Amino acid sequence: MWRSIGKVSLVLGVLGVLASGAVCAQASALPPPVFGAAQGVQIKEWSVTDRELEMMKAAGLSFVRFPMPWYAVEKNKGRFDWRVFDGVVERLHDHGLKAVIILGAGHPAYTGVAEQQHEDGTLEETYPAPVTPEEIDAFAAYVRAAAAHFDGNGVVWELWNEPDSRLFWYPKPDGAAYVAMAVPACRAIKEAVPDSVVMGPGMAAMAGGDDAAASAFLGQVLKSPLASCLDAVSLHPYRDRAVPPELVLEAYAKTRAFIEAHTPDGMEPLPLVASEWGFSTAEVSSDAQADYALRSFLLNVMDDVPLSIWYEWYDSLTGEADPEAHFGLIDHDKKPKVAYEVLASFLPALTGCVFEARIALPDPLDYLVVFRREDGSGAVVYWTARPQTELSVQVAIGDSNEKKTLTLRNRPQMKPLVVDEMVALAGGEGGAE
């Protein structure tokens, strides 16, 4: 979803100085869908302060996704300069955060330079993806060196960003070309560091539904040797800004069914990762963005998505009416938005919890969900996805026969549960107020 294309817009230096044989990745571990270990945020620029990293951790986030463009590291052919990215990864580690690093973008010395035309007619310089054997070999050498260099840091690697979009695969998406590049790249990472976690392709669209192009693209990935190398299929569930976010559950189900149907015999279907998803305050209100951000993280844990990345950390562009400029959890002046405050007040209280059960309510857009820790403690979280609605439901909690009334609103709320405390509807269907 980033504005820049093959030539990623970065502020560098601010933090400091198809071959035969399959590489099976099925045993590699992704973080489980646990609060405090499976949520993250994206940054585009390195002008992030220690205070901001502290804020990320305080909001219950544990991963930071960012691009590491080929051209930004291999300044001269065969010579890699990691200093900027060493500083990023080291500072993340110091704050208890891990990196999701996007390996993508071409390189002018290998793939040349082209002009990409945007929908508004403006032109931007871009570096095309590697497509010739020599370019692919050079890119594989780069990612192999990256994996070896950052070994031991718990990095999750993502092969490209939105290659099914013409913005990121010049001059137009090509599933076969992506696979031809990604197979040797993924194998290079696994050969360098066998327990590396690698995901891709970071698709802009979701397969299995009405988007035939997305299904064709992912189908080419799944029927290729790349499927046996990747640890997860990463995608971006924006779905043309569809709201409410709860609609993503149907899209996930369709994509999972597509993956299962196209998984080769003898392999387990790859899990889904939401490596980028957000809502812009140029398109929804600040309160709605806050509601959607929290609900998207809750929904992804509920639906067994092992890693969820919010796009993005701060409003990295300017332009009052530009949607791309207002996805951040904090604004362009680095002041917290409502979305940040809501996440920070909610997610840390769920640290260590996994999804246990959803208690059925009459309307499928109403949610009463139990999350639980290993020790039996947890919380019941409740909300409604029906716009501008309040709904009262009565529940029984624990061994007491006393009924408690919970009011479901668009912003999720929670009630803590002590060890092994049970939750059930106390009778009646509640009512809209």
Q: What is the CATH number of the domain that holds 245?
A: 3.20.20.80
CA-nearest of 41, 116, 19, 29 to 339 is 41
Please indicate, yes or no, whether residues 410 and 320 belong to a single structural domain of this protein.
no
Dist CA 385 CA 84 (whole Å) = 43
Please indicate, yes or no, whether residues 322 and 361 belong to a single structural domain of this protein.
no
- Domain holding 117, by residue range, is 39-352
Please indicate, yes or no, whether residues 74 and 172 belong to a single structural domain of this protein.
yes
**Domain contains 24:** no
For position 124, what pLDDT does the model report? 87
Q: Which residue has the tokens 């192999």?
A: 144
For position 119, what pLDDT does the model report? 75
**Domain contains 346:** yes
**Domain contains 93:** yes
Please indicate, yes or no, whether residues 299 and 361 belong to a single structural domain of this protein.
no
**Domain contains 34:** no
Please indicate, yes or no, whether residues 346 and 360 belong to a single structural domain of this protein.
no
**Domain contains 4:** no
Please indicate, yes or no, whether residues 187 and 299 belong to a single structural domain of this protein.
yes
Listing DSSP states for 227-262 in one string gives GGT-SEEEE-TTTTT-SSGGGHHHHHHHHHHHHHHT
Task: Determine which helix (DSSP H) or strand (DSSP E) holds 198, and give its type and residue range.
Answer: strand 197-203
Q: How many domains does the chain have?
A: 2
For position 388, what pLDDT does the model report? 86
Dist CA 356 CA 372 (whole Å) = 6
**Domain contains 328:** yes
What DSSP state is assigned to residue 74?
-
Please indicate, yes or no, whether residues 323 and 388 belong to a single structural domain of this protein.
no
Q: Which residue has the tokens 């070896």?
A: 148
Task: Determine which helix (DSSP H) or strand (DSSP E) holds 125, and give its type and residue range.
Answer: strand 123-126
Q: Which of 301, 332, 352 is the last residue of a domain?
A: 352
Please indicate, yes or no, whether residues 187 and 81 belong to a single structural domain of this protein.
yes
Please indicate, yes or no, whether residues 317 and 367 belong to a single structural domain of this protein.
no
Q: Which distant-in-sequence residues (6+ apart) come within 8 Å of 126 by Cβ? A: 5, 6, 7, 106, 113, 114, 115, 116, 170
Please indicate, yes or no, whether residues 118 and 238 belong to a single structural domain of this protein.
yes
For position 1, what pLDDT does the model report? 59
**Domain contains 139:** yes
For position 14, what pLDDT does the model report? 34
Question: Kindly report the CA angle at 210 between 206 and 216, in degrees rounded to 5?
Answer: 60
Q: Which of 326, 352, 378 is the last residue of a domain?
A: 352
Please indicate, yes or no, whether residues 340 and 374 belong to a single structural domain of this protein.
no
Dist CA 61 CA 56 (whole Å) = 6
For position 427, what pLDDT does the model report? 64
For position 30, what pLDDT does the model report? 83
Asked if residues 106 and 128 have their Cβ atoms less than 8 Å apart, the reply is: yes
Please indicate, yes or no, whether residues 273 and 399 belong to a single structural domain of this protein.
no
pLDDT in tens, the chain (433 residues): 554 434 444 433 333 333 333 344 444 468 789 999 999 999 987 678 999 999 999 999 999 999 999 999 999 999 999 999 999 999 999 999 999 999 999 999 999 999 988 777 888 899 999 999 999 999 999 999 999 999 999 999 999 999 999 999 999 999 999 999 999 999 999 999 999 999 999 999 999 999 999 999 999 999 999 999 999 999 999 998 899 999 999 999 999 999 999 999 999 999 999 999 999 999 999 999 999 999 999 999 999 999 999 999 999 898 889 999 999 999 999 999 999 999 999 999 999 999 999 999 999 999 999 999 999 999 999 999 999 889 999 999 887 767 899 999 999 999 999 998 999 998 644 433 3
Q: Which of 352, 374, 392 is the last residue of a domain?
A: 352
**Domain contains 191:** yes
